[in-house]
């Protein structure tokens, strides 16, 4: 009998979607034990988000972070860096370059980031770059408002979902500057585009889709309707999606419905119940890590194997669902 994704522990990729109350923090640990943290959540709260990252690290049995990628310089993504570096050794930081947003709060958070990582190696990424994590293939798809044209090993294909997509206006915030990545482990693919907004999503996958299909999709921008265009969600055909929303942030009914109705989707997991939405646009409670109010920090843990099979575990309940390779 084939061993399950949860029980086969020797060769696997771990992905933790960490609850940072409507920000982002996603931890990847490769089969070699090498790590990449994507974003760090919010500042302050007595180091709440840094402590939750450390808890996920303990579960993964790692004591340092080899790499940290900051998708963009909004406070719910970069704000936790000063707290994190006080608790954890970090080998190298990656980001898209200078802050591009003309707002006082983002200038403040960018300056705090630069101060916190002073003396640490820092690399600015561009579309087409790779982030070296032994055991994984990680390609930068978007960064600083630019998008990749092709991904090595993937043949771009015409995207039939582009024709019906409206024309979206780009905003001047950091969101469309997000550094987004495609992670490949054998036959398994994971997509994380930070807070990329619809105009850039469409530019990335229209008229041709350079990404192909993915197994796991971290819904973009916490499940807000500013992102998650049908042109990209339907084109990538995710088998499973995780929405990193908060109780009162993200999880919009429109974005939830777009993801939930995408072709071939098997499950949509959520970090929180979207309390400003309705029951019809929330997942079943078993698929929600923190069902009531601000959570206790329950996370969603993905265990992926090279053959493309994987599992998702809700740390609140300890229950696991398996997804066979396709």
**Do residues 197 and 205 touch, judged by C-beta distance below 8 A?**
no
CB 17 within 8 A of CB 2: no
What is the model's pLDDT at position 294?
A: 76
Q: How confident is the model at residue 225 (pLDDT cuts 50, 70, 90)?
A: very high
Q: What is the mean pLDDT of the segment spanning 220-239?
A: 98
Gap between the Cα atoms of 314 and 33, Å rounded: 22
Q: Given pLDDT bands bounded at 50, 70 and 90, which one contains residue 7? A: very low
The average pLDDT across 235-255 equals 98
What is the mean predicted confidence (pLDDT) over 89-117?
Answer: 98
pLDDT at 8: 45
- Using 50, 70 and 90 to split pLDDT, how confident is the model at 326? confident
Band (pLDDT 50/70/90 cuts) for residue 10 is: low
Return the pLDDT at 239.
98
Written as six digits, the tokens of 205 are: 């996958």
- Residue 58, C-beta contacts closer than 8 angstroms, at least 6 positions apart: none
- Residue 6 scores a pLDDT above 70: no
Contact 289, 297 (CB under 8 A): no
Q: Where would I find the H helices in the chain?
A: 48-60, 75-78, 81-87, 104-116, 198-205, 230-236, 253-260
pLDDT at residue 45 greater than cutoff 70: yes
What mean pLDDT value characterizes the chain? 95
Name the percent of the chain in helix, strand, coil, to the closest 5.
25, 25, 50
Of the chain, the percentage scoring pLDDT greater than 70 comes to 97
What confidence score (pLDDT) does residue 295 get? 73
- Report, as an integer, the average pLDDT of 285-306: 93
Q: How much of the chain, in percent, has pLDDT values that exceed 90?
A: 94
What's the average model confidence in pLDDT over 282-300? 93
- What is the pLDDT, as a whole number, of residue 292? 87
Distance CA 277, CA 139 (A): 34
pLDDT digits (tens, 9 = 90+) for 141-173: 999 999 999 999 999 999 999 999 999 998 999
Distance of CA 311 to the CA centre of its chain: 17
Over residues 72-97, mean pLDDT:
98
Q: Is the pLDDT of residue 82 over 80?
A: yes
pLDDT band (50, 70, 90) for residue 232 = very high
Which domains, and CATH codes, for the chain? Answer: 13-316 (3.60.15.10)
CA atoms within 13 A on the CB side of 160: 3
- Nearest CA to 143 out of 191, 195, 205, 102 is that of 195
């Amino acid at each position: 009998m084939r061993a399950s994704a949860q029980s086969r522990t020797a060769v696997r990729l771990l992905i933790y979607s960490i609850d940072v109350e409507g920000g982002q923090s996603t931890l990847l640990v490769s089969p070699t034990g090498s790590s990449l943290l994507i974003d760090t959540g919010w500042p302050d709260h007595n180091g709440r988000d840094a402590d939750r990252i450390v808890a996920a690290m303990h579960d993964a049995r790692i004591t340092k972070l080899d790499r940290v990628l900051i998708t963009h310089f909004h406070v719910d993504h970069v704000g936790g860096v000063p707290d994190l570096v006080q608790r954890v050794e970090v080998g190298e930081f990656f980001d898209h370059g200078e802050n591009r947003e003309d707002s006082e709060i983002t200038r403040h958070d960018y300056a705090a980031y630069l101060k916190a990582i002073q003396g640490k190696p820092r690399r600015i990424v561009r579309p087409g770059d790779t982030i070296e994590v032994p055991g994984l293939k990680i390609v930068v798809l978007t960064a600083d408002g630019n998008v990749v044209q092709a991904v090595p090993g993937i043949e771009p294909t015409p995207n039939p979902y582009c024709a019906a997509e409206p024309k979206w206006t780009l905003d001047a915030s950091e969101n469309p500057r997000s550094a987004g990545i495609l992670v490949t482990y054998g036959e398994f693919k994971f997509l994380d585009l930070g807070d990329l907004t619809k105009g850039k999503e469409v530019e990335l996958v229209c008229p041709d889709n350079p990404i192909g299909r993915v197994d796991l999709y971290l819904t973009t921008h916490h499940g807000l309707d500013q992102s998650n265009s049908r042109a990209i969600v339907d084109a990538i055909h995710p088998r499973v999606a995780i929405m990193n929303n908060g109780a009162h942030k993200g999880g919009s009914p429109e974005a939830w419905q777009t993801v939930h109705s995408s072709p071939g989707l098997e499950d949509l997991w959520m970090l929180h119940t979207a309390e400003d939405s309705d029951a019809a646009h929330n997942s079943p409670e078993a698929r929600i890590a923190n069902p009531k109010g601000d959570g206790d920090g329950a996370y969603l843990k993905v265990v992926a194997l090279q053959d493309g099979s994987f599992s998702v575990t809700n740390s609140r309940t300890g229950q696991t669902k398996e997804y066979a390779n396709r």
